[in-house]
A = this chain, B = another copy of it.
């Protein structure tokens, strides 16, 4: 009864050029390529402890201590493929935990499936391209298989073999680039990404123009922006693509509303701040929910945190900022804050996570 075990972690990623719409629902093949940054696991990650021994007679999964079914097409697809490729068929026990509050409304499925696929591949000693397997669990999970700046190539094959992720630039390429996640209060239950994108593909007359004519060029432009470490260009393309994704949601019938009035206020704040600075110092991107993800360079983080704290006064003073910063100083507030034209909104933001770009999945421990 020898126990074989591994412990691994995998990161969250946030798309700068968005994935929205599948051309194949079963294989999870996207309408367009997408490009993301992988976030530092210090602040956000999933950790899996996975083991197998002769006493285990069926696969089990717990997420944050609670039992979770593995009997869904997405889990089954990942498990089957890993077993086929490795030739290992023992049953597995998986304990998965997130180091961030699940109530935060932060998409955890990308990190979750990336961690599942990576940890089982370690357990089964499988050494091959894993992003296409993670993709079958959750499309965006394939991008969490690498650190740094990652592209998920759309691919052209109908079997999906070439719809894989790869690292465009490593996690050390642009260390000044920082990320602030603004967790917005009063999250309403909204249509899941998966159902939402199905509805968009069926009903939005604009989605194909986006996928075919706009995204391919944007991917090229944003890679150039990253290669030149051109913050202005990166932030602008990111904001435009976030807005276009939400435009497609609006062009859907019934329309999908993921942004709320606090999100609108954050967007206005970013544009007004950039205007006041006469340069682009801040960018935003929003996934299928009201939380904002801001891009900012290291030298402006303190000022931006002070502005956020001023415009969104908090009852959660102690833990308003967590991660790489953990405090806000009113002395960092610029004089022009009052001319931003944004009315303060008490407790509109629950808290802010200060993070940065990080590595791909990690093997923390193994005993094979």
Binding site for B on A (CB under 8 A): 203, 205-206, 209-210, 213-214, 236, 239-240, 243-244, 246-255, 257, 260-261, 264, 267-268, 271
With a CB–CB cut-off of 8 A, which chain B residues contact A271?
Answer: 254
State which of B214, B240, B253, B268 has its C-beta within 8 Å of the C-beta of A243.
B253
With a CB–CB cut-off of 8 A, which chain B residues contact A239?
Answer: 253
Contact at B240–A254, with CB atoms within 8 Å?
no
Q: How many copies does the complex hold?
A: 2
Interface of A is mostly: helix
Minimum Cβ distance to chain B for residue A274 (Å): 9
Contact at A250–B250, with CB atoms within 8 Å?
yes
Contact at B247–A250, with CB atoms within 8 Å?
yes
- Closest B-chain residue to A253, C-beta based? B240
Q: What are the nearest 10 A-B pairs in CB distance?
A: A247-B251, A247-B250, A254-B271, A247-B247, A209-B209, A243-B255, A257-B264, A205-B214, A244-B251, A246-B250
With a CB–CB cut-off of 8 A, which chain B residues contact A214?
Answer: 205-206
- Closest B-chain residue to A240, C-beta based? B253
With a CB–CB cut-off of 8 A, which chain B residues contact A206?
Answer: 206, 209-210, 214, 244, 247
- Closest B-chain residue to A250, C-beta based? B247
How far does the alpha carbon of A71 sit from the alpha carbon of B85 in the complex, in Å?
78
- Closest B-chain residue to A218, C-beta based? B205
Contact at A267–B240, with CB atoms within 8 Å?
no
How far does the alpha carbon of A210 sit from the alpha carbon of B208 in the complex, in Å?
12
With a CB–CB cut-off of 8 A, which chain B residues contact A240?
Answer: 203, 205, 253
With a CB–CB cut-off of 8 A, which chain B residues contact A268?
Answer: 254
- Closest B-chain residue to A270, C-beta based? B254
Minimum Cβ distance to chain B for residue A282 (Å): 12
Contact at B243–A250, with CB atoms within 8 Å?
yes
Determine which residue in A239, A251, A253, A254 has the highest number of CB atoms from chain B within 10 A of its CB, and name it: A251
How far does the alpha carbon of A247 sit from the alpha carbon of B206 in the complex, in Å?
9
10 A–B contacts, CB within 8 A, in A order: A205-B240, A206-B209, A206-B214, A243-B251, A244-B250, A246-B255, A247-B250, A254-B271, A257-B264, A257-B267
- Closest B-chain residue to A267, C-beta based? B255
With a CB–CB cut-off of 8 A, which chain B residues contact A255?
Answer: 243, 246, 267
With a CB–CB cut-off of 8 A, which chain B residues contact A251?
Answer: 243-244, 247
Determine which residue in A210, A214, A252, A257 has the highest number of CB atoms from chain B within 10 A of its CB, and name it: A257
